[in-house]
Amino acid sequence: MNTSLSPESVLDFLKRRAARPLKPKEIARGLGVEARHYRELQLLLRKMEAEGRIYRVKKGRYALPERINLLVGRVQTTRAGDGFVIPEGGGADIFVPGSRLESAYHGDRVVVRIERTRRGRNPEGTVVKILERAHEQVVGAYHRAGRYGFVVPEEPRLRRDVFIPAGADKRAKDGEVVVVRIVDWGDAMLNPVGEVAEVLGHPDAPGVDVLSIVYGHGLPAEFSPEVRREAARIHRRGISRADLEGREDLRRLLVFTIDPADAKDHDDALSVERLGSSTLRVGIHIADVSHYVPERSDLDLEAFRRGTSVYLVDRVLPMLPPELSGDLCSLRPDEDRLAVTLLLDMDREGRVHGHRLVRSVIQSRHRLSYEEAQAILDGAQEAPAALRDALRVLWALSVKLRARRTTRGSLDFDLPEARVVLNAAGEPTEIQRVLRLGTHRLIEEFMILANTTVAAEAARRRLAFLYRIHESPEPVSLEALREALQPFRLSVGKGAERSPKPFQKLLGQVRDRPEEALVNTLVLRSMKQARYSAKNEGHFALAAPHYAHFTSPIRRYPDLVVHRILTRALLDGERIPEGWAKDVLPAAAQRSSERERLAMEAERDSVELKKIEFLRRHLGDEFWGTISGVAAYGFFVLLDDVFADGLVRAHTLEDDYYHLIETEHALVGERTGRRFRLGDRVRVRVDRVDPEAREVDLSVTGHEETAPRRRLESGRRPRGRRRIDGRTRRR
C-alpha cells in the first residue's frame, strides 16, 4: 500500500498544482504514484467522488467542486417548494428554485452548480447530483386508489406523494399512518416509489403521532443488544477502588445540581467555597462519561451515530443507554460519582484569576429544580443555610459574569418558549409559557464560563480540538434583516458583519415593546447556525474568540470528544494522535452538527404536532396573535399563549382585494388601503385544523394596525410581488 496516498494529498494536489481538470493518470504522475499503486488511486478517486470531495467532469477528468463552480451541502426546502443549499465549507446559502431541485428533498446532501450571483441576493443554483439521501424511509398517511396506493408524507417539505405499487401496502387500511421504504426516488417528473415497511396505526391512536416523528426523522428508538450488554456490564461493575486512584476527592464540598424538574440525566453540578476575604473557588463538576465509554467501543460508535439525546414532547431518546445516562454517569444525589472538575479561582467581580482541571470523585448533596432553587433565592422556600448561602454567592457571581459578557457584545435572545402539558393518554391539555428564571441564567453563565475556559486553554496549547463555532452573518442576510425592520423604523447599525454589538443595541431598543419577540425572531433568523468544527473560528453571538461544548457529555457527543482530548493532553500528558486533526475531529464535527439539526427539527415537530392537536379542540375559538410572516397568498399569525402559527389566507379577507407590498412587508387592500403588516396585532378565529398536512387556517375578527393607512390607487397593481414567507429565509 502506498502510505503517502491519501484524500488530503489528492485535494492538496488538485488545489495547488492543477490548472485544469485532470485524468486519473495525470493525477498519478503529479503525485508520483507508481504503476503498482494506480488501482489504489482509482479506488480512492471514486470514493472521494462519492463523498462529494472531488467531482468528475467530461472525459473522466477530476476537479475540486469549487474550482468548477460547484458546491457541496445540505438541502433545506421551504413550504413554497423552493430550497436552499447550506454549503459544508461555509459561505452564503445557495437558493435553488423548486424546478431546479431535481429529485432532491429536504435534508439531502447534494452538489449544486452556481448559476448566477446578484448583489444583495443569495447565489442561485441548480442541483446536479445527489450524494446522500437524508431519508431512507418516509412516514405518512396511506390512501388507496384502486389496486394501487399512495402515501402523503407527514413532513410538508417532502413535497411529493409516494406511489405504492400493488402488493406493497402490507395490508394497510385507508387513512392509517405507515412507514414507507423508498425504492426509487424518481426524478424531476416522476414521484418516488416505495413499499410499506410498517403500519403504525390510526392517526388518532395513542402514541402514533410521536412515533411517526421518530420514524419520520430516522431516529433510533432502541439500542442494539450489543450496546445494551456493554452498558449493563459497565453498570454492574459500578465504581471500584481502582476507579478512584489518582482522583481528587471532592466529596467534602457542598455540591448540588440544578435542572428541569423532570430531568433524569444530570451532567453538571456546582460548588463554591471561600478561600479568603475576597477570593472564591467555584467548582464546575461534569460527569466523567469518557471514563465509561472507551473509544471505538460499541457504546462509542452508537453515541457517534446518534450524536445527541433527543427530547421529544413525551419521551427522551438518550444518546447513551439508561444504565449510564440515567444512573452511573448521572450526578445523582447522595451517591459517589466520577467527574471532571474545573476549579476556578474568582474574585467577587467575576474575574477568573486561575483555573485547574482535575479528575475527581464527588457526591451531590442536593438535586434542585430551577423552580426550587429560585424559591430558595427568593426566600420563599426553606433550605439549609449552607445551600442558601452558596446559591446567593453563585447568583451574585453570575450577575457579574453576565454583565462582563454583555460588555463585550454577547447577545441574549429572550424568545417565548412553550411547554405542552399532556395527560396520561398523551393528549395535550394545556400549553404553558416557560418562564426564564434567574436560576436559568445562573446555570447558563457558569456553563458558558466553563466552555470558554477550556476552549481558550486548548487554543493556547494548540491542541487538536473540537470547537463550537458561530460565524458572522452573511451580507445578504443582513440586508434581508434591514428590510424586515423598516416597518418598525428600526435598523442594524454599521459593523454588524464584524461584531454583535449592533445587534445587541437593536435588541435593547425593543425590550418590553410589543414587537420584542418578533424582532428577536427576525434577528435570530438572520444569524447562521452554530456548528462544530475542528477549526477555531470563534463564536459570534457570544462575542467569544474561543468556545467549545464541555458541560454535557451524557447527551452530546462533541462534549465526550472534548473530555477525551482534555484529559489525555492536560491530565495524562499524552499527545493527541496526528490523525485526529485530519480525520477524527472533522468527521465528529460534521456528524454532530448534522445530528444536532435533525434533533432540533424532531423536537420542534413533536411540539408543533401537539399544538395542532390542541387547536383542533378549539375550533371556532378566538385568540390574539402577532403577524409573523407575510406572503402574496396570506399572512402567518403567531398565537398568544398557544405559541403556534396559523395562516390567514388572502382570499378570506372579504372586504377588499389584497396585494403584497414587499417593501412594507404588508398585504394592502387596493380600495381601502387597509394594511396587514408584519408585527401587527390581530384577533383571529380557528377555522380549520388539518393534522395530516400540519396546517391551521385562521380568519380575522379584530385588527390593531401599527402604521397609518395609505390608500392604494385603484386599478394599480403593486410592484415586486415575489413571495415572502416569515417562516423561511428570504432569498
Residue 108 pLDDT exceeds 50: yes
The mean pLDDT of 198-203, rounded to a whole number, is 93
Determine if residue 205 is left, alpha or beta; phi over 0 gives left, psi from -120 to 50 gives alpha, anything else beta: beta
Cβ neighbors of 265 (< 8 A, separation 6 or more) are: 309, 318, 325, 326, 329, 330, 554, 555
Residue 724 pLDDT exceeds 70: no
- The verdict on pTM exceeding 0.95 is no
Torsion of CA 546, 551, 555, 558, to 10 degrees: 30
- How many C-beta neighbours within 10 Å does residue 604 have? 12
Residue 228 pLDDT exceeds 90: yes
b/e code 131-166 from CB counts within 10 Å (16+ = b): beebbebbbbbbeeeeeebbbbbbbebbbbbbbbee
- What's the confidence (pLDDT) of residue 4? 63
d(CA 364, CA 254): 7
Topology agreement, domain 7-66 and domain 137-205: no
Q: How does DSSP classify residue 556?
A: B
User: Which helix or strand (DSSP H or E) is residue 454 part of?
Assistant: helix 438-460
Residue 720 pLDDT exceeds 60: no
Q: Which amino acid is at 222?
A: E
Q: What is the pLDDT of residues 653-685, one digit of tens each?
A: 999 999 999 878 899 999 999 999 988 999 999
Q: What is the CATH number of domain 7-66?
A: 1.10.10.10
Please, what CATH class does the domain formed by 69-132 belong to?
mainly beta
Q: What is the pLDDT of residues 620-630, one digit of tens each?
A: 999 999 998 89
d(CA 695, CA 688): 8
d(CA 727, CA 629): 7
- What's the confidence (pLDDT) of residue 728? 28
d(CA 405, CA 399): 10
Give 351: exposed, middle or buried? Use CB within 10 Å, 0-12, 13-18, 19+: exposed
User: Which helix or strand (DSSP H or E) is residue 590 part of?
Assistant: helix 585-616
d(CA 561, CA 583): 13
3-state class of 124 per DSSP?
strand
Q: Which CATH architecture has domain 137-205?
A: Beta Barrel (2.40)
Residue 713 pLDDT exceeds 80: no
Domain boundaries, the chain: 7-66, 69-132, 137-205, 225-469+541-599, 475-527, 618-704
- Quick check: 548 and 468 in contact, CB under 8 A? yes
- What's the confidence (pLDDT) of residue 705? 65
- How many C-beta neighbours within 10 Å does residue 396 have? 15
**E strands in 211-278:** 248-249, 255-259, 268-274
Q: How far apart are the first and last CA of the chain?
A: 48
Q: Give the confidence band of 711 by pLDDT, cuts at 50, 70, 90.
A: very low
Which residues sit opposite 685 in a β-bridge?
622, 699
Residue 730 pLDDT exceeds 60: no
All three cell numbers of 522 = 427576525
3-state class of 212 per DSSP?
helix
The mean pLDDT of 675-702, rounded to a whole number, is 92
Q: What is the pLDDT of residues 405-423, one digit of tens each?
A: 999 999 998 777 888 999 9
b/e code 10-23 from CB counts within 10 Å (16+ = b): beeebeeebeebbe
- Quick check: 62 and 55 in contact, CB under 8 A? yes
- What's the confidence (pLDDT) of residue 5? 80
Q: What is the pLDDT of residues 321-336, one digit of tens each?
A: 999 999 999 999 999 9
Residue 718 pLDDT exceeds 90: no
- Quick check: 133 and 194 in contact, CB under 8 A? no
- What's the confidence (pLDDT) of residue 452? 98
Residue 430 pLDDT exceeds 60: yes
- What's the confidence (pLDDT) of residue 251? 97
**Percent of the chain whose pLDDT exceeds 70:** 96
- What's the confidence (pLDDT) of residue 454? 98
The mean pLDDT of 390-397, rounded to a whole number, is 98
Least confident of 218-227, 292-301, 347-356, 719-728: 719-728
Cβ neighbors of 573 (< 8 A, separation 6 or more) are: none
Q: What is the pLDDT of residues 41-54, one digit of tens each?
A: 999 999 888 888 89
Give 404: exposed, middle or buried? Use CB within 10 Å, 0-12, 13-18, 19+: middle
Residue 725 pLDDT exceeds 60: no
Q: What is the pLDDT of residues 562-609, one digit of tens each?
A: 999 999 999 999 999 888 988 899 999 999 999 999 999 999 999 999
The mean pLDDT of 611-632, rounded to a whole number, is 92
- What's the confidence (pLDDT) of residue 714? 35
The mean pLDDT of 627-651, rounded to a whole number, is 91
Residue 707 pLDDT exceeds 50: no
Q: Please state whether beta strands 666-669 and 658-661 pair in parallel, antiparallel, or not at all (unpaired).
A: antiparallel
**Percent of the chain whose pLDDT exceeds 90:** 66
Residue 709 pLDDT exceeds 80: no
3-state class of 405 per DSSP?
helix
Q: What is the CATH number of domain 618-704?
A: 2.40.50.140
Q: Which amino acid is at 149?
A: G
All three cell numbers of 598 = 435533525
Q: What is the pLDDT of residues 234-247, one digit of tens each?
A: 999 999 999 999 99
- What's the confidence (pLDDT) of residue 229? 96
- What's the confidence (pLDDT) of residue 722? 29
- What's the confidence (pLDDT) of residue 726? 29
- What's the confidence (pLDDT) of residue 296? 92
